[in-house]
């Protein structure tokens, strides 16, 4: 059997007292101590040291957890996240209602009992159609203007290409730079594992 050197035995004794000695080394430590009974004193000292450190702990005052819970802010991320849901939800519901009215406007809403709603639905339908028409016309106009500009001048084509590339780069940079509030490693006090050894 290969004998274990003193330094290793001392290290294992320390780990044993700390409860971190690997199971595969337990038998080797026992054998080592049998061969070196002078280390039994060391084992006792280390055991007593751990006991002494454990004894020196203070008690947490009673009701501490309740005090912490009571001190938690009322308006935290929880309420903020609920508030963040409210607006998109309201907008979505509003649009859904509008769509339902527009779809149903020509059939169900023709009924005289809800004639007012039918009129409002017609109004929105007409407004939407007019808006779409104007948008289409504007887009067509812009396209024509660009066509003319690009066909007549090579310099304009190059300038437009450079401009588009610049805007692409700008957009990519903005995508890479995430907002500070949503970054987990921003380096503030409550940042998980942000920065060095904690000594700021």
Partner 1 sequence: MQPTDEALVAAALAGTMDSFTALVERYQGRLVNYLFRMLRNEEDAHDLAQEVFVKIYGALNRFDDRYRFSTWLFRVAQNAAIDRIRKRRLKVVSLNRPETEEGDGGEWELPGNDPTPYRTLRNSERGEAIQLAIDDLPIEYRELITLRHYGELSYDEIATLKSMPLGTVKNKLFRGRQMLKERLRDYLTD
Q: Which residues bind partner 1 (CB under 8 A)?
A: 11, 14-15, 18, 20, 44-46, 48-50, 52-58, 60-61, 64-65, 67-69, 71-73, 76-78, 81, 182-185, 189-194, 196-200
User: In this structure, what DSSP letter does residue 188 have?
Assistant: S
The CA distance from 128 to 98, in Å, is 11
Task: Specify the length of the chain in residues.
Answer: 200
CB of residue 10 to partner 1, shortest distance in Å: 8
The CA distance from 197 to 200, in Å, is 8
Q: Which residue shows structure tokens 């779409």?
A: 132
Looking at the Cβ atoms of 30 and 44, the one nearer to partner 1 is 44
User: In this structure, what DSSP letter does residue 138 have?
Assistant: H
CB of residue 114 to partner 1, shortest distance in Å: 40
Looking at the Cβ atoms of 62 and 107, the one nearer to partner 1 is 62
Looking at the Cβ atoms of 80 and 107, the one nearer to partner 1 is 80
Burial category of 87 from C-beta neighbours within 10 Å (exposed 0-12, middle 13-18, buried 19 and up): exposed
CB of residue 52 to partner 1, shortest distance in Å: 6
């Amino acid at each position: 059997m290969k004998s274990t050197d003193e330094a290793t035995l001392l290290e294992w004794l320390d780990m044993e007292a700390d409860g971190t000695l690997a199971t595969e080394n337990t038998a080797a430590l026992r054998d080592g101590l049998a061969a070196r009974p002078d280390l039994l004193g060391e084992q006792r000292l280390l055991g007593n040291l751990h006991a002494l450190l454990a004894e020196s702990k203070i008690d947490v005052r009673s009701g501490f957890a309740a005090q912490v819970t009571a001190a938690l802010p009322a308006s935290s991320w929880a309420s903020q996240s609920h508030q963040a849901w409210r607006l998109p939800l309201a907008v979505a519901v509003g649009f859904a209602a509008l769509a339902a009215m527009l779809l149903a406007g020509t059939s169900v809403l023709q009924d005289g009992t809800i004639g007012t709603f039918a009129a409002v639905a017609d109004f929105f339908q007409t407004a939407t159609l007019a808006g779409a028409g104007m948008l289409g016309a504007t887009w067509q106009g812009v396209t024509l203007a660009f066509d003319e500009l690009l066909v007549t001048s090579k310099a304009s084509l190059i300038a437009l290409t450079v401009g588009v590339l610049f805007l692409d780069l700008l957009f990519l940079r903005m995508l890479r730079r995430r907002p500070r509030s949503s970054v987990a490693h921003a380096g503030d006090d409550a940042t998980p594992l942000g920065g060095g050894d904690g000594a700021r």
